[in-house]
Amino acid sequence: MNFDYDTMPMRNKETSLGVKMRRCECGCRNYLLYDGNEDYKVVCEYCDLEHRFKASSSDNAILRYNNIFLKKGC
- For the chain, residues with pLDDT lower than 50 are 74
Report the SS3 class of residue 46. coil
pLDDT the model gives residue 17: 96
pLDDT digits (tens, 9 = 90+) for 22-31: 999 899 999 9
Helices (H) and strands (E) in the chain, counts: 1, 3
What is the Cα 44 distance to its own chain's centre? 8
